Amino acid sequence: MQKIQVKDSLKPLGHYSQAIVSGGLLFTSGILPIKIKTSEKLPIESSIEEQLFVVFDNLNQILQEVGVTSDKVIKATIYISGGENWAIVNQLYAKYFGEHRPARSIIPVPELHFGYKIELEAIAEL
């Protein structure tokens, strides 16, 4: 097992790793719309599109840290606050992954940490 920390990023404040590699797979922790290199938090009033853009950028940086791209993601779990953002998340997710179609769950929840609208976890092949 190997702990993954994006180069030049701040260590998480909580008791977790940004990601773990084990058994030829990469498992990310929940990715919030907090910029991974600077820990800059997007305002909670920011749109779901803005928040998802930061989440996907963070995912890209984690994937790059282990030398893979988004086409190696095999499963994504997306938590959204409320179901009203389902359609836009589905649209942006499809745009991000293109022809690649990882397994996916979208789970509406009443609220997320810091009041954000989205959190994403991913599993990728190495």
* pLDDT tens-digit readout, 46-98: 999 999 999 999 999 999 999 999 999 999 999 999 889 999 999 999 999 99
Please report, for the domain that includes residue 68, its CATH number. 3.30.1330.40
Across-strand partners of 28? 19
Domains in the chain: how many in total? 1
User: What are the tens digits of pLDDT across the range 20-45?
Assistant: 999 999 999 999 999 999 999 999 99
- Which phi and psi angles does 30 have, rounded to 5°? -60, 130
Indicate the SS3 state at residue 68.
coil
Domain around 16: 2-125
Supply the Cα-derived Rg of the chain in whole angstroms: 14
Answer yes or no: are the C-beta atoms of 102 and 71 closer than 8 Å. Answer: no
